[in-house]
Chains A and B, each alone.
Chain A
Amino acid sequence: MATAVKPRIKLDRKEARKGDIVEVKALVAHVMETGQRKDAQGNTIPRKILKKFACTVAGKQVFAADFEPAVSANPYIQFKFRAAESGKVVLTWTDDDGSTIVGEETITVT
C-alpha cells in the first residue's frame, strides 16, 4: 500500500543562506486513477488520487496544493521556498483513502 511508496525528493541545494530561494522537485509513484476510465468489463474503475500535498520547512508550511484527477499519474511537483531556518523539509501527500505518503529532506540555513 501507500506506506511502501518512497517519494523521490530533490532540493537544488542542501545549504542555503537566509533569504535564498530553494527549489524543491518531488516525484511520487501513484496511479492517480481518475474515476473516468472503464475496465475491460465496462465497470468504472474507482477514483484513487492523491488529493492533497503540503510542504513544511522546520514545521512551517511553505507550499501546499490540492490535486484533481487531471494531475498525471506519478505526480511530479516542483516549487520554491525562501530559506528561513534550518530544519527538516517534510513533504506529505494525502490519498483519497486518507493514507499519507511522507518524504523528508534536511536543509541547513546559515
Chain B
Amino acid sequence: MSGINRRQIIAGAAGALAAAGLSLAPAQAANNAQELIKTFTGGKPVTEGKVKLDLPEIAENGNTVPMTVMVESPMTEASHVTDVLVLADGNPNAGVATFHFSPASGVAEANTRIRLATTQNIIAVAKMNDGSFVTTSKQVKVTIGGCGG
C-alpha cells in the first residue's frame, strides 16, 4: 500500500512539475533565446538535424546538468562546423555557451555542465563553414532550479 501511495505522490509531483513547466513556458518565451538565434544566424533559415544534444531527461539538481553537444560533420577544410550556440529558453538569460570549432578539432563535440533554472528546452544551433545552420532541441525536467533564486 505504501508503495502505491509513494508512486502516486511521485506521479503527482511529476505531473505538477510538468504542469508548472507548461504554464511557465509562454511567459518565459520572453527571454532572449529567439533574438540570440537571430543574431547568430543573421536571419538565415535553420534546419533540424545533424546536431545531437545529450542531456538527462530529468535533472535532479539544476545547478550542474551534464550537457554534450555533437554535430555530424567530417570536419575537413571543405566541410566543417565553425560554431555551436547552446541556449536554454527558460533561464533568466538564454545564453549558455558558444563553442568554436575548426578542422583541427577533428570532431565537433563538447561537453560541459550547465545551470538550468527550471524545466525547459535546451536549443543547440550549429553553424557550418558553408554558412548553413542546423539545430536541435531537447527538454530537460529540472527538480531543483540552479539559479539560487
Contacts and interface: CB of A to CB of B under 8 A. Distances in A.
Interface of A: 21-22, 34, 36-37, 57, 60-73, 75-82, 84
Interface in B114-135: 114-116
Given A37-B147, A72-B64, A65 B110 contact: yes
B105 A62 contact: yes
Interface residues of B, number: 33
Contacts of A84: 104
Contact of A70 (B104, B106, B114): B114
Given A36-B148, A65-B97, A72 B106 contact: no
A80 B105 contact: yes
B140 to A, nearest CB: 12
A63 B63 contact: no
A34 B96 CA distance: 11
Given A63-B105, A75-B112, A80-B107, 8 more contacts: A36-B148, A57-B104, A70-B114, A72-B114, A77-B111, A79-B109, A82-B103, A84-B104
